[in-house]
Structure 1
Amino acid sequence: MKYVIGIDLGTSSVKTVLVNKQGDIVGEATASYPLIQERPGYSEQDPEEWVKGTLGCLKELLDSKQAAAEDIEGVSFSGQMHGLVLLDEQNQVLRNAILWNDTRTTKECREIEAKLGDSLLEITRNAALEGFTLPKILWVQKHEPELFAKAARFVLPKDYLRYRMTGQVAMEISDAAGTLLLNVPEGAWSEEITAAFGLPAGFCPPLVGSTEDTGTVLPEFAQQSGLSPNTRVFGGGADNACGAVGAGIVRKGDALCSIGTSGVVLTYEEDKSKDFGGKVHFFNHAHPGAFYAMGVTLAAGYSLSWFKDSLAPELGFNELLAPVGSLPPGADGLLFTPYLVGERTPHADSVIRGSFIGLSGTHRREHLARAVMEGITFSLAESLALFREAGIEVDRMISIGGGAKNPVWLQMQADIFGIPVVSLKNEQGPAMGAAMMAAVGSGWFASLKDCADQFIGYAQTYEPVPANVETYSRLFKLYQQVYAATRSLNEGLQEFRG
């Protein structure tokens, strides 16, 4: 039996999965590592922790004897996006990595907008946000000039891990799309942007594809991990691209709804001319020549966790949500906006905060719970509406994460989105996506689409109920008015916030 390994390098931990040719996961291992948060808004990590965690996981997989080292044909990666890893001429790390959730770079974002103007969206298809990599580069350039003078190149987190595994420096394209340095439609580094900010020649490393062979395992890494030095290593993908692949989003008409702490709606696209004016993200997909549009709700699952912890800390989620299914759509005239930490799509607004609208003395806890679930889904539906306005057809939604664990919520998604919603039999997310890239790279399948047909199993399909669709369509129009109606109120409340 032959196997591949998928490595998911996340923000708080690394997860590895061992997968056979039938798509069965026969082994798993996880290792956590710390964040470094020296000041408010700062979020960093020591890249060596990623290497140590990955080595530990690989050793655990090999020690389990589920597979012999020589039977593991390929390894690939999913990685947390946007994190800045600066390397010198000898490819030594110059400082801690600055992560995606670091927010110190607001001034640098404004500088990017001022210098590039309309060219920014034309080239990168994305707005300048603190999470992206270019603002982090400019921050180091400005605040740590002596260190930056030693920087020969940069990589992203999973690309640094791949370098340590193979000795080859490269950046995979779906991850490069989140740097604000890539010409996304053309799939090449933008010389206009690198020149505008004085970045040295070769600062952006060579680009590779997600299923592209990037070499074999270095002897030293093989000895430490237990892998064979003959095991091939493939490009991998950004965590959202890998999550999409792991859910089978590799065809036009399919979209992904993922509800974790934040929420994502993501759709597959092959037309590189799509332009959303920066209202949603538009990135290169792991599938060659394809793209994905993505909208983000900052406080999706977090809104429900906040509600439970604040109003029903003694209950589990199943007990809290059990009465919700007996209520009709609309929670008896109650709306909730999930802006607890600001919002990303379609309102890039750090000041806005959440609201319950229509609260009355007849509402009970289950009404509020249903309103929270509906409000999260309405927020995600705003991203779907932007896709449709841009001419992207979405025929069905694959739902994963916390929102896929509750049948009432899955039906609610179908009714609010107005399309069938499908759950997965075995949800493994980005780690499975990474394993699928290794499987295709190893020659098991001709494409990620073929691999998805073998590896991805679908569970139940929730069809939209016409009467509920009509009700939610009217409620959605009211929901969309709440942002504008409360924006100035939230600006006024800023001075009173702790």
Structure 2
Amino acid sequence: MRYYMGVDNGGTFIKAVIFDETGMAVAQAHEQIQLITPKPGFTERDMELLWQLNAKAMRAAVEQAGVPPEQIKGVSFSGHGKGLYLWGEGTPAYNGILSTDSRAVAYADKINGGPAADALFKKTVQKALCCQPVALLQWFRDNAPHVLEHTKWIFGVKDYIRYRLTGQAFAEITDFSGSNLVNLKTRSYDDEILELLDLSAIKGKLPPLRASTDVCGAVTKEAARQTGLAEGTLCAAGMFDIDASAIAMNIVNEEYLAVIAGTWSINEFIARQPIDDRSVMMNSIYCTPGYYLVEESSPTSASNLEWYMNTFLADLKKRCKERGENAYRLADELVESVAPEDTEVYFLPYIYGSNYNGNAKACFIGLSSYHTQAHVMRAVFEGVTFCHMAHIEKLLAHRPGVKAIRLAGGVTNSEIWSQMFADVTGRKVEIIRTKELGAFGAALCAAVACGGYKSMEAAAASLVAVEKSYTPVAACAEIYRKKYERYQRLAQLLEPLWH
């Protein structure tokens, strides 16, 4: 039996999962790293600690699998896109910056509204986001130039972890194509892009670009000691986590939308050509040849529930943990106890920013003394789902005849929430058998790189299976349609305040 490891670094958890050659997970381990928030809008993590926790998770998964490390033929990686991980001479040049960081809002606004905006868009087919490397690098250029001076390599999170395993620096194309630093038409770096952004000084710090299934080195002796993997184990480039989740849902044609409800609200489909009329937020290069990934996204998804429970229900979560119970099951019970038509409390899920405005703030609207924790919890579930719908509507304008929505992320642990996605979108929702889709997509990549499959499409066709599906309930869909219209109106009315 051959085995493959997928290592996924999301916005909240680090996961290492080992899959056998039939696609079944045989071992998995996860770690959580503390968020560093030195100032409002700053979301960072200690890069050295991040590596140590990755190594710990990999070692735990290898030990749990109980197979000789030599049978783990390959390792690959997925990770949150955007953000920034700067490596210096032998040590990190700064903390890692997550995709929820908003310090560079003014820089993104200036790029999008500046004289070079049209010229940049023709090359990158993207609007600038405050959490993209392009805006963050400009922020460092002006506010902490010494950091860039001491930077040797500019990485995404998964490329950084692969570097620590192999000692070889590469930038993987699906990830970096979402950075606003890559020409999507030539699929390469572009000197003119750097000149237009006044970032020519970083040119030598950008690692060589590689495709997802390219072999990018092997596990070093020191990394083997730390992770439990065999020295010399091949490491494939990997993917942006939204690509990893999409390929793990067998998104290899134009029949499906992929929706990932985790730290970010990710909503996407693949297309032969990018959408270049500015009606969607992002185009990037997909992990299968000839396709682009068309994306609508914002930091407005299930991480809002995590924030709410950590902030207001911390004692309850602690008691549940002590009793071996799942606190999130309680969230389901609370939501189910209130019918959708019985509450008009609304939640704008902007704890980490908005799909409308980087300066927007989260809020509850419509609360009174009558309302209980159940009403508030339902508002969180609905608000996150409505914000996804705002993105999905933009995608459906270009792809109206989708067969179904394939859903991934934390919300799939809740049947109530998964059904809500079907009712709000009015479309069938399918859930894939494997829960850890980011790691699974990475493992598929490792399998292809090691010769187990001839292509990503072949690996997905062979190993991906739908576990369950949800069909819209007509009566609920009509209720949610009216509530969604009101949600949109509230968001529009509040928009002037954020300016």
State TM-score, norm by structure 2.
0.85
- In structure 2, C-alpha distance between the alignment counterparts of 1:446 and 1:23, rounded to whole Å: 16
- In structure 2, C-alpha distance between the alignment counterparts of 1:176 and 1:311, rounded to whole Å: 38
Q: Which of 389, 393, 397 is the equivalent residue of 2:397?
A: 389
Q: Secondary structure at the match of 1:331?
A: helix
After superposition, where does 1:481-496 map in structure 2 within 5 Å? 481-488=489-496, 490-491=497-498
Deviation at 1:26, TM superposition (A): 1.5
Equivalent residue for 1:341? Answer: 351
Q: Secondary structure at the match of 2:204?
A: coil
In structure 2, do the counterparts of structure 1 residues 393 and 485 end up closer, same or farther at CA, with 3 Å as the change threshold? Answer: same
Query: 1:268·1:292 contact (CA, 8 Å) conserved in 2?
Result: yes
- In structure 1, C-alpha distance between the alignment counterparts of 2:281 and 2:174, rounded to whole Å: 16
Equivalent residue for 1:81? Answer: 81
- In structure 2, C-alpha distance between the alignment counterparts of 1:431 and 1:454, rounded to whole Å: 17
Q: Structure 1, residues 286-344: CA drift from partner, whole Å, max 9, x if none?
A: 2233232333353433555666675997595444544755766x524726242443753
After superposition, where does 1:3-402 map in structure 2 within 5 Å? 3-64=3-64, 66-87=66-87, 93-113=92-112, 114-196=114-196, 197-200=198-201, 201-260=203-262, 262-275=263-276, 277=278, 279-304=280-305, 310=312, 316-319=327-330, 321-322=332-333, 324-325=335-336, 330-332=340-342, 334=344, 336-341=346-351, 343-345=353-355, 347-356=356-365, 366=374, 369-391=377-399, 393-402=401-410
Q: Which of 397, 412, 431 is the equivalent residue of 1:404?
A: 412
Query: 1:121·1:278 contact (CA, 8 Å) conserved in 2?
Result: no
Query: 1:410·1:421 contact (CA, 8 Å) conserved in 2?
Result: yes
Question: Which residue identity is paired with 2:24?
Answer: D
- In structure 2, C-alpha distance between the alignment counterparts of 1:65 and 1:364, rounded to whole Å: 45
Query: 2:349·2:384 contact (CA, 8 Å) conserved in 1?
Result: no
Question: Which residue identity is paired with 1:272?
Answer: Q
Unaligned runs of 5+ in 1: none
In structure 2, do the counterparts of structure 1 residues 362 and 162 end up closer, same or farther at CA, with 3 Å as the change threshold? Answer: closer
Judge which range, 336-345 or 10-19, deviates more.
Answer: 336-345
Q: Secondary structure at the match of 2:205?
A: coil
Q: Structure 1, residues 221-261: CA drift from partner, whole Å, max 9, x if none?
A: 3344343333211011122222223333333222233333x
Question: Which residue identity is paired with 1:274?
Answer: I
In structure 2, do the counterparts of structure 1 residues 352 and 52 end up closer, same or farther at CA, with 3 Å as the change threshold? Answer: closer
In structure 2, do the counterparts of structure 1 residues 364 and 50 end up closer, same or farther at CA, with 3 Å as the change threshold? Answer: closer
Q: Secondary structure at the match of 1:252?
A: coil
Equivalent residue for 1:444? Answer: 452
Q: Secondary structure at the match of 1:49?
A: helix
In structure 2, do the counterparts of structure 1 residues 399 and 118 end up closer, same or farther at CA, with 3 Å as the change threshold? Answer: same
- In structure 1, C-alpha distance between the alignment counterparts of 2:492 and 2:24, rounded to whole Å: 48
Q: Secondary structure at the match of 2:158?
A: helix
After superposition, where does 1:394-473 map in structure 2 within 5 Å? 394-473=402-481
Question: Which residue identity is paired with 1:481?
Answer: R
- In structure 1, C-alpha distance between the alignment counterparts of 2:159 and 2:254, rounded to whole Å: 28
Q: Secondary structure at the match of 2:178?
A: coil
Q: Structure 1, residues 383-431: CA drift from partner, whole Å, max 9, x if none?
A: 1110012346432112233432333333322122121111233311211
- In structure 1, C-alpha distance between the alignment counterparts of 2:86 and 2:2, rounded to whole Å: 36
Question: Which residue identity is paired with 1:47?
Answer: M
Deviation at 1:381, TM superposition (A): 1.1
- In structure 2, C-alpha distance between the alignment counterparts of 1:461 and 1:418, rounded to whole Å: 13
State TM-score, norm by structure 1.
0.85
In structure 2, do the counterparts of structure 1 residues 391 and 122 end up closer, same or farther at CA, with 3 Å as the change threshold? Answer: farther
Judge which range, 416-425 or 330-339, deviates more.
Answer: 330-339
Query: 1:109·1:128 contact (CA, 8 Å) conserved in 2?
Result: yes
Judge which range, 126-135 or 313-322, deviates more.
Answer: 313-322
Query: 1:269·1:392 contact (CA, 8 Å) conserved in 2?
Result: no
Query: 1:251·1:449 contact (CA, 8 Å) conserved in 2?
Result: no
Question: Which residue identity is paired with 1:51?
Answer: W
Q: Secondary structure at the match of 1:174?
A: helix
- In structure 2, C-alpha distance between the alignment counterparts of 1:252 and 1:326, rounded to whole Å: 38
Question: Which residue identity is paired with 2:468?
Answer: Q
Deviation at 1:150, TM superposition (A): 4.6
- In structure 2, C-alpha distance between the alignment counterparts of 1:319 and 1:34, rounded to whole Å: 25
Query: 2:76·2:235 contact (CA, 8 Å) conserved in 1?
Result: yes
Judge which range, 128-137 or 243-252, deviates more.
Answer: 243-252
In structure 2, do the counterparts of structure 1 residues 394 and 226 end up closer, same or farther at CA, with 3 Å as the change threshold? Answer: same
Q: Structure 1, residues 121-167: CA drift from partner, whole Å, max 9, x if none?
A: 33223322221112222222223334534545422222122223223
Give the alignment's Cα RMSD to 1 decimal.
3.2
- In structure 2, C-alpha distance between the alignment counterparts of 1:13 and 1:302, rounded to whole Å: 11
Unaligned runs of 5+ in 2: 318-326
In structure 2, do the counterparts of structure 1 residues 195 and 362 end up closer, same or farther at CA, with 3 Å as the change threshold? Answer: closer
Deviation at 1:78, TM superposition (A): 1.1
- In structure 1, C-alpha distance between the alignment counterparts of 2:258 and 2:69, rounded to whole Å: 34
